Structure 1
Amino acid sequence: MALRRATFRLYPTKKVNDLLHYHRRLHKELYNAAVSNRITSYKKFGKSVSYFDQQNCLPDFKEVWTEYKQINSQSLQSTLKRVDLAFQRFFKGLGGYPKFKSIRRYSGWSYPSFTGWKCHSTGDNGYLELAKIGSIQMRGKSRLWGHPKALDIVHRNGKWYASIVLDVDDEMLRSSRKTDSGVVAIDLGCNDAIAWTNGEENGLISAPRFFRNAEKKIKQLSKAKRRKRSPNYKKRQKASRRWKKVQSRISKL
């Protein structure tokens, strides 16, 4: 068995969309609370807080903050694990010191196992069922399909996505790689994305160059954005609506 990932676009109703944003905000606040707990504990008491310490505090935490009772427990543990991984990367010198996240920079949350959600699909469209949220129509097509194992809910550029981890059978993987001649040699490059040969035929697949094709448009929008009122956190100045609108167009590009 091998793990593969498939991503689908979600199309929630207005009510479900509001619930998705609400759950996203709760996970963001839990993330910030966990970061604050680690910083305060070390500065004031000289004690490091581990992932298991924070995980064991979740039942008491939910007794005080009752809104978290409606969220899957393993999903909350996954958010705490994200904090732990951020600190581990910092201690290993692989990343900066973990910071508090705003809602703009917190993309979503995870379901690390097959609890709290169900996927009703065979790899071609379908719908997703999330506990305490509801059913969501999803569109997309997976190259390979297997048994769903884990799920990430992601919000990006005003759209929702479901990234599903699949346990794919080895026979399906082998059948997807079969060719008429048996073996194909592939070389990845920069000028051409793929150069391939099977001993008899050769071929080149050119690089799509998405950024180069959109670069002129991005420069025009970036120039227009500089004319708008940008956010200034030191002066407590908010960005104008026109700045946000142009920034959204740049992000989509």
Structure 2
Amino acid sequence: MATKRITFRLYPNKKQANQLHQWRKLHCLLYNACIANRKTQYKQFGHSVDYFEQQNCLPEFKKVWEEYKPLGSQALQATIKRVDFAFQRFFKLKSGYPKFKASRRYKGWTYPSPSGWSIESSGHHGHLTLNNLGKIQIRGKARDWGIPNSCTIIYKQEKWYASTTVACDTTRPTTDIGAIGLDFGVNHAIATSNEELIDNPRFLKQSQEKIKQLSKKSRRKRAPNKKKTKAFRRWLKARKAVSKIQSKVARQRQDWQHQISSKIVSDNSLIATEKLNLKGMTRKAKG
């Protein structure tokens, strides 16, 4: 059995969408409260708060803040665990000190086990049911389907998604054609051992001029600032147009990657790659 992650697009109605936004905001407030609690306890009392201490406070927390009751205990625990993970990375010097998140930048929350949600699908479209919310239509296609284990609700580019992990038996293409070696670059995306060069389609470059024009328009509009000045509708409209193009570029890039990887896997029984620091290679945009 293998574990695979499958992402479906959600289509909530207006009432459900408003409730999802409210739940996302509540998870964001909990995330920020956990960071503030750790910070205050250490600064004032020299006490390091851990995950279990904050988790054990949830029953009393929900008695005071009753709006958190419909969200489910395990989903709230997962948000607290997310804070703990951020601090563990900080202690291991892998990232900076965890920061507070604005609600508009907080993407979503997780159900870490099959509790509080269920999915009716065979891997091809279907419905997602969330406790205290109801049934939501989903669209998406999975190559392999099995038993759902966890679900993450995500909001990005003004669209809702459900990313689920499933335990399944994988279907592998059978081929004995041969072996291939791959080398990754910047000027060319992939160079194969068969002397084939696969060029980078550079979808962003194709849309760069349009993004520049729209970004220039948004800079002329009134934007929100730290003094809580409300943004003009024209600014929001311009930013939405930029976000729409960037989302399209991301989908084009992802689709191209899936097509290339599927072709390589179906044509070869053995694939070898060199261990490279791709982030370091692309930093100066030179191969």
Shorter-chain TM-score above 0.5: yes
TM-score by length of 1: 0.88
Amino acid at match of 1:244: L
Aligned-pair CA distance for 1:187: 4.6
Moved more, 205-214 or 131-140: 205-214
Amino acid at match of 1:39: K
Aligned-pair CA distance for 1:40: 1.3
**Corresponding residue number in structure 1 for 2:114:** 114
**Corresponding residue number in structure 1 for 2:212:** 219
Aligned-pair CA distance for 1:244: 1.8
**Corresponding residue number in structure 2 for 1:20:** 20
C-alpha RMSD of matched pairs (Å): 2.1
Aligned-pair CA distance for 1:183: 4.7
Aligned-pair CA distance for 1:184: 5.3
Aligned-pair CA distance for 1:180: 5.7
Q: 1:20 and 1:191, CA in 2 relative to 1: closer, same or farther beyond 3 A?
A: same
**Corresponding residue number in structure 2 for 1:162:** 162
How far apart, in 2, do the equivalents of 1:221 and 1:92 lie? 41
SS in 2 for 1:93: coil
Aligned-pair CA distance for 1:159: 0.6
How far apart, in 2, do the equivalents of 1:115 and 1:194 lie? 43
What is the aligned counterpart of 1:190 among 173, 177, 186? 186
Amino acid at match of 2:200: A
**Corresponding residue number in structure 2 for 1:35:** 35
Q: Does 1:249 align with 2:238?
A: no
Amino acid at match of 1:237: T
**Corresponding residue number in structure 1 for 2:45:** 45
- For structure 2, the residue ranges without an aligned partner over 5 or more in a row are 246-287
SS in 1 for 2:98: coil
Aligned-pair CA distance for 1:188: 4.1
TM-score by length of 2: 0.78
What is the aligned counterpart of 1:232 among 213, 225, 228? 225
SS in 1 for 2:201: coil
Aligned-pair CA distance for 1:156: 0.6
How far apart, in 2, do the equivalents of 1:204 and 1:120 lie? 43
Amino acid at match of 1:241: R
**Corresponding residue number in structure 1 for 2:134:** 134
Structure 1 segments (4+ residues) deviating >6 Å: none
Amino acid at match of 1:179: T
How far apart, in 1, do the equivalents of 2:181 and 2:143 lie? 21
Amino acid at match of 1:155: Y
Amino acid at match of 2:243: S
Aligned-pair CA distance for 1:89: 1.9
How far apart, in 1, do the equivalents of 2:138 and 2:12 lie? 8
What is the aligned counterpart of 2:175 among 179, 196, 221? 179
Q: Does 1:4 align with 2:35?
A: no
- For structure 1, the residue ranges without an aligned partner over 5 or more in a row are none
How far apart, in 2, do the equivalents of 1:119 and 1:223 lie? 43
How far apart, in 1, do the equivalents of 2:199 and 2:144 lie? 25
**Corresponding residue number in structure 2 for 1:63:** 63
How far apart, in 2, do the equivalents of 1:149 and 1:207 lie? 36
How far apart, in 1, do the equivalents of 2:149 and 2:190 lie? 31
